[in-house]
Amino acid sequence: MPVLEAAVAREGLADRVEIIATSCRNRCDYGPSMNVYPGPTFYNELTPEAIEEIVREHLKHGQPATRWFFRPKLLRPSITSRKPQRYSP
């Protein structure tokens, strides 16, 4: 949160942007994450660089930072969901 708060202040947006801390909203494996409203626009796996870009591009200039959009991770099939293989001696 300190990186986000500092970026918002640096861009002069503190009087127009409300920052609300929440739980991971059932997406803990994708964090840190951010939702921007109105929208909503979902961002995930954020770095300080990503936060700076999102604040500058999306919050200040109204252009979503597409490279940081939320993208679900591909799930690998579990061992139990694989088809059994025949044993051939």
* DSSP for the chain, written as a single string: -HHHHHHHHHTT-TTT--------TT-GGG-S-EEETTTTEEE-S--HHHHHHIIIIIIITS---GGGB--PPPPPPPGGGSPP-----
Domain boundaries, the chain: 2-71
Q: Looking at this protein, which amino acid is placed at residue 30?
A: Y
Looking at residue 25, its pLDDT comes to 74
Q: 86 pLDDT band (50/70/90 cuts)? A: low
Whether the pLDDT of residue 87 is over 60: the answer is no
User: Quick one: pLDDT at residue 13?
Assistant: 98
C-alpha to C-alpha distance for 43 and 4, rounded to whole angstroms: 13
Classify domain 2-71 at the CATH class level.
alpha beta
Alpha carbon distance 33, 44 (integer Å):
4
Report whether pLDDT(88) > 60.
Answer: no
Q: What is the pTM of this model?
A: 0.77
pLDDT tens-digit readout, 54-84: 999 999 999 999 999 998 877 666 555 555 5
Q: Which pLDDT score, from 0 to 100, does residue 76 have?
A: 62
